Protein backbone atom coordinates (compact mmCIF):
# COMPACT_ATOMS: atom_id res chain seq x y z
CA UNK A 1 0.00 0.00 0.00
CA UNK A 2 1.50 3.31 -1.15
CA UNK A 3 1.80 5.80 1.71
CA UNK A 4 0.98 9.23 0.32
CA UNK A 5 1.58 12.71 1.72
CA UNK A 6 -0.46 15.45 0.04
CA UNK A 7 1.03 18.96 0.28
CA UNK A 8 -1.44 21.82 -0.14
CA UNK A 9 -1.77 25.57 0.33
CA UNK A 10 -5.38 26.40 -0.45
CA UNK A 11 -8.86 25.13 -1.11
CA UNK A 12 -7.88 21.56 -1.69
CA UNK A 13 -10.21 20.57 -4.52
CA UNK A 14 -7.47 18.40 -5.98
CA UNK A 15 -6.98 16.82 -2.56
CA UNK A 16 -10.73 16.15 -2.56
CA UNK A 17 -10.47 14.43 -5.94
CA UNK A 18 -7.78 12.13 -4.49
CA UNK A 19 -9.84 11.38 -1.37
CA UNK A 20 -12.88 10.63 -3.55
CA UNK A 21 -10.78 8.44 -5.85
CA UNK A 22 -9.56 6.35 -2.93
CA UNK A 23 -13.03 6.10 -1.43
CA UNK A 24 -14.73 5.13 -4.70
CA UNK A 25 -12.02 2.66 -5.69
CA UNK A 26 -10.70 4.41 -8.79
CA UNK A 27 -7.38 4.72 -6.93
CA UNK A 28 -6.23 1.41 -5.46
CA UNK A 29 -3.21 0.42 -3.35
CA UNK A 30 -2.81 3.94 -1.94
CA UNK A 31 -3.59 5.60 1.37
CA UNK A 32 -3.22 9.26 2.37
CA UNK A 33 -1.05 9.22 5.49
CA UNK A 34 -1.01 12.98 6.02
CA UNK A 35 -2.04 16.30 4.51
CA UNK A 36 0.48 19.08 5.11
CA UNK A 37 -0.31 22.76 4.54
CA UNK A 38 1.95 25.79 4.82
CA UNK A 39 -1.21 27.83 5.42
CA UNK A 40 -2.98 26.92 8.64
CA UNK A 41 -6.24 28.42 7.35
CA UNK A 42 -6.29 26.34 4.17
CA UNK A 43 -9.67 24.70 3.68
CA UNK A 44 -7.77 21.64 2.47
CA UNK A 45 -6.95 20.88 6.14
CA UNK A 46 -10.69 20.74 6.95
CA UNK A 47 -11.29 18.41 4.03
CA UNK A 48 -8.63 16.05 5.44
CA UNK A 49 -10.11 16.10 8.96
CA UNK A 50 -13.60 15.37 7.61
CA UNK A 51 -12.20 12.14 6.22
CA UNK A 52 -10.17 11.25 9.33
CA UNK A 53 -6.89 12.02 7.63
CA UNK A 54 -4.16 13.58 9.74
CA UNK A 55 -3.81 17.29 8.92
CA UNK A 56 -0.60 19.14 9.74
CA UNK A 57 0.00 22.89 9.43
CA UNK A 58 3.68 23.63 8.85
CA UNK A 59 4.46 27.22 7.93
CA UNK A 60 7.80 28.89 7.20
CA UNK A 61 6.46 31.76 9.32
CA UNK A 62 6.67 29.59 12.43
CA UNK A 63 10.41 29.03 12.01
CA UNK A 64 13.29 31.44 12.55
CA UNK A 65 14.93 30.54 9.26
CA UNK A 66 13.91 28.92 6.00
CA UNK A 67 16.44 26.17 6.61
CA UNK A 68 14.74 25.23 9.88
CA UNK A 69 11.38 25.05 8.10
CA UNK A 70 12.89 22.93 5.33
CA UNK A 71 14.37 20.59 7.92
CA UNK A 72 11.02 20.24 9.73
CA UNK A 73 9.23 19.43 6.47
CA UNK A 74 11.93 16.92 5.53
CA UNK A 75 11.72 15.21 8.93
CA UNK A 76 7.92 15.05 8.80
CA UNK A 77 8.09 13.21 5.46
CA UNK A 78 11.03 10.94 6.28
CA UNK A 79 9.80 10.01 9.78
CA UNK A 80 6.48 8.93 8.33
CA UNK A 81 8.23 6.79 5.70
CA UNK A 82 6.21 8.43 2.93
CA UNK A 83 6.35 6.63 -0.45
CA UNK A 84 4.84 9.37 -2.63
CA UNK A 85 4.56 13.14 -2.15
CA UNK A 86 1.71 14.76 -4.08
CA UNK A 87 1.87 18.53 -4.58
CA UNK A 88 -1.78 19.48 -4.96
CA UNK A 89 -1.83 23.27 -5.15
CA UNK A 90 1.26 23.56 -2.96
CA UNK A 91 2.87 27.00 -3.19
CA UNK A 92 5.96 26.12 -1.17
CA UNK A 93 9.17 25.65 -3.14
CA UNK A 94 10.27 22.13 -2.32
CA UNK A 95 13.82 22.14 -0.92
CA UNK A 96 16.51 20.28 -2.85
CA UNK A 97 17.16 17.91 0.02
CA UNK A 98 13.57 16.62 -0.25
CA UNK A 99 13.76 16.44 -4.06
CA UNK A 100 16.87 14.25 -3.77
CA UNK A 101 15.62 12.05 -0.93
CA UNK A 102 12.34 11.47 -2.78
CA UNK A 103 13.72 11.24 -6.31
CA UNK A 104 10.95 10.21 -8.74
CA UNK A 105 8.57 10.01 -5.78
CA UNK A 106 7.15 13.55 -5.90
CA UNK A 107 4.43 14.56 -8.36
CA UNK A 108 2.81 17.90 -9.11
CA UNK A 109 -0.33 19.06 -10.89
CA UNK A 110 0.15 22.10 -13.12
CA UNK A 111 -2.80 23.88 -14.78
CA UNK A 112 -1.48 24.09 -18.35
CA UNK A 113 -0.13 21.82 -21.05
CA UNK A 114 3.59 21.81 -20.20
CA UNK A 115 5.88 23.13 -21.76
CA UNK A 116 3.46 26.03 -22.32
CA UNK A 117 2.81 28.51 -19.52
CA UNK A 118 4.97 26.91 -16.87
CA UNK A 119 8.11 27.49 -14.85
CA UNK A 120 8.98 30.14 -12.31
CA UNK A 121 6.20 32.68 -11.80
CA UNK A 122 3.51 30.56 -13.46
CA UNK A 123 1.11 29.60 -10.70
CA UNK A 124 -2.56 30.00 -9.90
CA UNK A 125 -4.54 32.44 -12.03
CA UNK A 126 -1.37 33.80 -13.68
CA UNK A 127 -1.14 30.65 -15.78
CA UNK A 128 -4.62 31.19 -17.21
CA UNK A 129 -4.07 34.94 -17.67
CA UNK A 130 -1.02 34.20 -19.82
CA UNK A 131 -2.82 31.51 -21.80
CA UNK A 132 -5.70 33.88 -22.58
CA UNK A 133 -3.32 36.75 -23.42
CA UNK A 134 -1.58 34.48 -25.97
CA UNK A 135 -4.94 33.47 -27.42
CA UNK A 136 -4.42 29.73 -27.28
CA UNK A 137 -7.46 27.71 -28.33
CA UNK A 138 -6.57 24.73 -26.15
CA UNK A 139 -5.17 24.62 -22.64
CA UNK A 140 -5.30 21.87 -20.03
CA UNK A 141 -3.40 20.32 -17.16
CA UNK A 142 -0.28 18.23 -16.63
CA UNK A 143 0.80 15.84 -13.90
CA UNK A 144 4.58 15.46 -13.79
CA UNK A 145 7.36 14.21 -11.57
CA UNK A 146 9.19 16.92 -9.68
CA UNK A 147 12.90 17.51 -10.17
CA UNK A 148 15.10 20.55 -9.53
CA UNK A 149 13.77 22.39 -12.61
CA UNK A 150 10.48 24.24 -12.03
CA UNK A 151 7.75 22.25 -13.86
CA UNK A 152 10.55 20.47 -15.74
CA UNK A 153 10.26 16.87 -14.54
CA UNK A 154 9.04 13.90 -16.60
CA UNK A 155 5.40 14.24 -17.72
CA UNK A 156 3.03 11.52 -16.50
CA UNK A 157 -0.39 12.53 -17.88
CA UNK A 158 -1.81 15.52 -19.75
CA UNK A 159 -5.39 16.41 -20.62
CA UNK A 160 -6.50 19.14 -23.00
CA UNK A 161 -9.39 21.55 -22.40
CA UNK A 162 -10.95 23.95 -24.94
CA UNK A 163 -10.60 27.69 -24.49
CA UNK A 164 -13.65 29.84 -25.34
CA UNK A 165 -13.52 33.40 -26.75
CA UNK A 166 -15.22 34.96 -23.74
CA UNK A 167 -13.25 33.10 -21.06
CA UNK A 168 -11.92 34.99 -18.08
CA UNK A 169 -8.94 33.56 -16.17
CA UNK A 170 -11.37 32.45 -13.46
CA UNK A 171 -13.69 30.68 -15.91
CA UNK A 172 -10.79 28.94 -17.64
CA UNK A 173 -9.28 27.93 -14.29
CA UNK A 174 -12.56 26.33 -13.27
CA UNK A 175 -12.92 24.43 -16.56
CA UNK A 176 -9.33 23.17 -16.41
CA UNK A 177 -9.87 21.95 -12.86
CA UNK A 178 -13.19 20.23 -13.56
CA UNK A 179 -12.31 18.70 -16.92
CA UNK A 180 -8.64 17.94 -16.41
CA UNK A 181 -6.99 18.35 -13.00
CA UNK A 182 -9.51 16.41 -10.91
CA UNK A 183 -9.31 13.53 -13.39
CA UNK A 184 -5.61 13.19 -14.16
CA UNK A 185 -4.20 13.65 -10.66
CA UNK A 186 -6.07 10.63 -9.24
CA UNK A 187 -5.21 8.66 -12.41
CA UNK A 188 -1.50 9.39 -11.98
CA UNK A 189 -1.56 8.25 -8.35
CA UNK A 190 -3.31 5.04 -9.35
CA UNK A 191 -0.68 4.37 -12.04
CA UNK A 192 2.14 4.83 -9.54
CA UNK A 193 0.42 2.87 -6.76
CA UNK A 194 -0.04 -0.06 -9.10
CA UNK A 195 3.47 0.08 -10.54
CA UNK A 196 2.23 0.76 -14.07
CA UNK A 197 4.82 3.34 -15.17
CA UNK A 198 8.56 3.81 -15.22
CA UNK A 199 10.98 6.55 -16.20
CA UNK A 200 13.34 5.76 -19.06
CA UNK A 201 15.77 8.48 -20.18
CA UNK A 202 13.72 11.22 -18.50
CA UNK A 203 10.48 10.06 -20.18
CA UNK A 204 7.57 8.31 -18.51
CA UNK A 205 6.63 5.03 -20.19
CA UNK A 206 3.95 2.45 -19.51
CA UNK A 207 5.60 -0.66 -18.05
CA UNK A 208 5.46 -3.68 -20.32
CA UNK A 209 3.92 -6.68 -18.58
C1 LIG B 1 -4.80 24.12 -9.03
O2 LIG B 1 -5.13 24.92 -10.11
C3 LIG B 1 -3.48 23.44 -9.29
O4 LIG B 1 -3.29 23.11 -10.62
C5 LIG B 1 -2.53 24.52 -8.89
O6 LIG B 1 -3.12 25.11 -7.76
C7 LIG B 1 -4.53 24.94 -7.78
C8 LIG B 1 -4.94 24.24 -6.51
O9 LIG B 1 -6.31 24.20 -6.29
N10 LIG B 1 -1.20 23.99 -8.74
P11 LIG B 1 -6.92 23.32 -5.09
O12 LIG B 1 -6.30 23.82 -3.78
O13 LIG B 1 -6.61 21.88 -5.35
O14 LIG B 1 -8.39 23.59 -5.11
Average model confidence (pLDDT) for the chain? 97
Distance 11 CA to ligand 1 centre (A): 8
DSSP letter at 164 equals P
In this structure, what is the dihedral angle of CA atoms 13, 15, 18, 22, given to the nearest 10 degrees?
-120
Query: Rounded to the nearest 5°, which phi and psi values hold at 54?
Result: -60, 135
Q: Residue 197's pLDDT is what?
A: 98
> Which of 8, 9, 10 maximizes ligand 1 atoms within 8 Å of its Cβ, making it the mutation to test the pocket?
10
Q: Residue 65's pLDDT is what?
A: 98
Q: Could you tell me the pTM of the whole model?
A: 0.97
Q: Residue 208's pLDDT is what?
A: 86
Query: Does residue 110 have an active-site annotation?
Result: yes
Q: Residue 28's pLDDT is what?
A: 98
Catalytic residue (choose from 110, 128, 144, 202)? 110
Is 163 a residue whose pLDDT tops 90?
yes
What atom of ligand 1 comes closest to residue 17's alpha carbon?
A: 13
**What residue ranges line ligand 1, CB within 6 angstroms?**
8, 10-15, 44, 88-89, 109-111, 177, 181
Q: Residue 81's pLDDT is what?
A: 98
DSSP for 1-28, please give it. -EEEEEEESS--HHHHHHHHHHHHTSS-
pLDDT tens track for 168-181: 999 999 999 999 99
Please count the CA atoms within 13 angstroms of the CA of 88 that sit on its side-chain side. 36
Q: Residue 31's pLDDT is what?
A: 98
Is 79 a residue whose pLDDT tops 80?
yes
pLDDT tens track for 28-69: 999 999 999 999 999 999 999 999 999 999 999 999 999 999
Whole-angstrom distance, CA of residue 4 vs CA of residue 44 = 15
> Which of 106, 109, 113, 129 maximizes ligand 1 atoms within 8 Å of its Cβ, making it the mutation to test the pocket?
109
Provide, rounded to the nearest whole percent, the portion of the chain with pLDDT above 70.
100
Whole-angstrom distance, CA of residue 143 vs CA of residue 139 = 14
Q: Which residues of 85-112 are buried (b: 16+ CB within 10 A; e: fewer)?
A: bbbbbbebebbeebbeebebbbbbbbbb
Q: Residue 87's pLDDT is what?
A: 98
Is 113 a residue whose pLDDT tops 90?
yes
Where residue 209 falls among pLDDT bands split at 50, 70, 90? confident
Amino acid sequence: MLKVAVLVSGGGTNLQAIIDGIENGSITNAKIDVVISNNKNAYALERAKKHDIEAVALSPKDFETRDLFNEALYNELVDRKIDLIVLAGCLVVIPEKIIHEFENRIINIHPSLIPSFCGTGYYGLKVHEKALARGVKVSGATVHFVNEIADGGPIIIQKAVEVQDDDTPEILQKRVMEQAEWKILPQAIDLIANDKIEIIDHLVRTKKK
